Amino acid sequence: MCRRFDPRTPSARLRPPGSASLAQSGGNGKPSGHRGYYIAAAASTERGHETGFTLIEVVISLALFALISVAGLALVDAIVRVDERTAGRLERLGQLHRAMYVLSRDLEQSSVGSVEEIADGVRFERQPGGLDEAGRAISYALRGGSLFRIVGEGAAGTSQLLVSGVSSARWSFFLVGRGWENDIPADERSQPLRPAAIAVEIMLDGAAAPSGSLRRVVELPLPSLPGQPL
């Protein structure tokens, strides 16, 4: 039975012209079938699988790697910036919390009738107790955009920074029967009245978050003698 020649088969396209007689005879005039024909086709197919990347493929791969690297660096930079802002905000909130706690404790332990106004804040005597047996003068003052706590008098006093970035600190005093006053008024004998509570409102500038205002109201100790007026 005769086999029909199909030019679309790989073996037909790979076989060079005039090689049919050699493939059939084996090169020595003797018939050898199609063995030489199949060997040539397999060798050509193996050489075709050894091809590498083209220049365009390499350039595209490098461009993709560069885009991924840039996106990764931008993401890391954004994470670092957010972490820095969060750490700064938490530190600021901690500073404000400590300042209000110290202020409240000082005023709650102040001596009765010792609160007085000074040029840039308030001053009072803290009651003796604990390690502070003799008691001492405490002042709160706004200096250079920061709220300070001053312990002691004059040059011997020590200053402690409580809150930085403060634009203003406004003090008000609650008097029984009169309400809130911006100043401590005097009685008919020109003696300052005793406030029952003190409020401080601190305005924070916008340089450091959080900004805005912070208000704290502290009730002052009552007189120890019954019937003594406030």
Q: Are 200 and 103 in contact (CB under 8 A)?
A: yes
Residue type, 17: P
Residue 24's pLDDT is 46
Residue 152's pLDDT is 85
Residue 20's pLDDT is 47
Q: In what order do the strands lie in the sheet with 136-143?
A: 116-118, 121-126, 136-143, 146-151, 158-164
* Mean confidence (pLDDT) of the chain: 76
Residue 225, helix vs strand vs coil: coil
* Of 37-41, 55-59, 156-160, 176-180, the least confident: 37-41
* Of 9-18, 49-58, 115-124, 205-214, the least confident: 9-18
Residue 45, helix vs strand vs coil: helix
Radius of gyration of the chain (CA): 46
**Mean pLDDT, residues 148-168:** 86
* Strand locations in 49-105 (E): none
> Which tokens sit at 224?
């120890």
Is the CA virtual torsion 152, 132, 141, 143 positive or negative? positive
Place of tokens 């091809």: 51
Count CA within 13 A, CB hemisphere, residue 80.
6
**Mean pLDDT, residues 151-167:** 85
